[in-house]
Homo-oligomer: A and B are copies of this chain.
């Protein structure tokens, strides 16, 4: 209930603060018999880790995952998979300057008011560091979904938009540049934009588009746990996310029914896909695609005035190694959360018929 679990049957529970000894989690409900590729899991972690390029934070965290249970001779046993990522780079002193300070548009104030106590080091539990555990679990989920294709990519940075339909993109090129945009021309502009704001000591927002392909028909649990509602919650639970739309999204709200309806082909597929692969909360076999909005990172290197816990005005300035744009590192997180939802709903669907 306290909000640190995700999923119903394929269930991830995470723990850990950014500057404690370790973060980690437990995957409960991963079916037995899945042969794991540990290199692929570490690879996903590496896509998320700091320090991987010039346009992300230069913090060094190796982020090596250790599995403690639930796997025997490389195969899942049906018992809970416990895993831990030790925090090797806990420079707690870096954060002493914010001990009593509520940083603007961070969660310092709200955690303090809710709990009456907070671990002020680096954002504590509210730090995006927690998402490393999601990436581990998502990588396991991806392996369970081996026939499905889950591809996320950066579709905008500030005002730079990737203006092509996803069908015209080559997803194999997502990793070919540091911004994770599969269109090289757009990627270059985005990277330049990030470098520009970085120079200013500023940060910038962006969007990620995610496409799920080869999803079987029938995933989704009406009426409250519609597939797209759970995907939406999954995405909105990621740090810095401000919006979610799928299929026609907010554009659909401007359309007429005669324009928006997806005509069926005889095989049950549809000629258009404004529905975004989901009807009535249940996948229809077409591509599922959605877009996620990320606000700019709140920590800038510019001087700001704010308050401390005594209600006094104080001056503060972000230090060193923060992300000027969170979006490229969030790409594997979006994929991980999508994989967790799909794995969970695959298992749920196993019980829908006699």
Q: Is the beta-carbon distance between A353 and B33 smaller than 8 angstroms?
A: yes
A247 at the interface (CB under 8 A from B): yes
Point out the residue from B69, B78, B232 that lies within 8 Å of A114, measured CB to CB: B78
A17 at the interface (CB under 8 A from B): yes
**Distance (whole angstroms) from the CB of A204 to the closest CB of chain B:** 5
Q: Which residue of B lies closest to A267 (CB)?
A: B311
A253 at the interface (CB under 8 A from B): yes
**Distance (whole angstroms) from the CB of A104 to the closest CB of chain B:** 4
What are the residues of chain B within 8 A of A151 when measuring CB–CB? Answer: none
Q: Is the beta-carbon distance between B218 and A24 smaller than 8 angstroms?
A: no
Q: Mark A256-279, 1 if CB is under 8 A from B, else 0.
A: 111111111111101000111011
Point out the residue from B204, B224, B270, B293 that lies within 8 Å of A250, measured CB to CB: B293
Q: Which residue of B lies closest to A222 (CB)?
A: B3
A295 at the interface (CB under 8 A from B): yes
Q: Is the beta-carbon distance between A260 and B223 smaller than 8 angstroms?
A: no
A306 at the interface (CB under 8 A from B): yes
A177 at the interface (CB under 8 A from B): no
Q: Is the beta-carbon distance between A109 and B229 smaller than 8 angstroms?
A: no
What are the residues of chain B within 8 A of A347 when measuring CB–CB? Answer: 351
Point out the residue from B13, B32, B229 that lies within 8 Å of A115, measured CB to CB: B32
Point out the residue from B80, B82, B263, B295 that lies within 8 Å of A104, measured CB to CB: B263
Q: Is the beta-carbon distance between A1 and B1 smaller than 8 angstroms?
A: yes
A57-65, A180-188, A281-289 - interface stretch: A281-289
- Could you tell me which residues of chain A, from 77 to 124, have a CB within 8 Å of some CB in chain B? 77-82, 84, 102, 104-107, 109-111, 113-119, 124
**Distance (whole angstroms) from the CB of A346 to the closest CB of chain B:** 9
Q: Is the beta-carbon distance between B249 and A243 smaller than 8 angstroms?
A: yes
What are the residues of chain B within 8 A of A5 when measuring CB–CB? Answer: 13, 28, 224
Q: Is the beta-carbon distance between A197 and B245 smaller than 8 angstroms?
A: no
- Could you tell me which residues of chain A, from 191 to 243, have a CB within 8 Å of some CB in chain B? 197, 200, 202-207, 217-218, 220-226, 228-230, 232-234, 236-237, 239, 242-243
Q: Is the beta-carbon distance between A279 and B106 smaller than 8 angstroms?
A: yes
What's the number of copies of this chain in the assembled complex?
4
Which of A26, A197, A229, A351 has most chain B Cβ within 10 Å? A351
Point out the residue from B6, B224, B266 that lies within 8 Å of A3, measured CB to CB: B224
Which of A200, A222, A298 has most chain B Cβ within 10 Å? A222
Point out the residue from B9, B237, B259, B311 that lies within 8 Å of A266, measured CB to CB: B311
Which of A1, A225, A276 has most chain B Cβ within 10 Å? A1
Q: Indicate whether A1 sits within 8 Å of B6 (C-beta atoms), given known contacts A22-B69, A68-B15, A242-B247.
A: no
- The contact sample of 15 A-B pairs, CB cut-off 8 A, is A1-B8, A1-B9, A6-B224, A33-B115, A34-B354, A72-B119, A104-B262, A110-B218, A113-B217, A113-B218, A113-B282, A115-B353, A144-B354, A207-B253, A224-B237
With A15-B26, A203-B257 given, can you name 12 additional A-B contacts, CB distance below 8 Å? A2-B352, A4-B26, A25-B26, A31-B353, A32-B117, A78-B114, A105-B257, A114-B352, A205-B255, A229-B237, A232-B232, A247-B295
Top 5 nearest A-B pairs (CB, nearest first) are: A107-B280, A3-B221, A15-B82, A243-B245, A3-B225
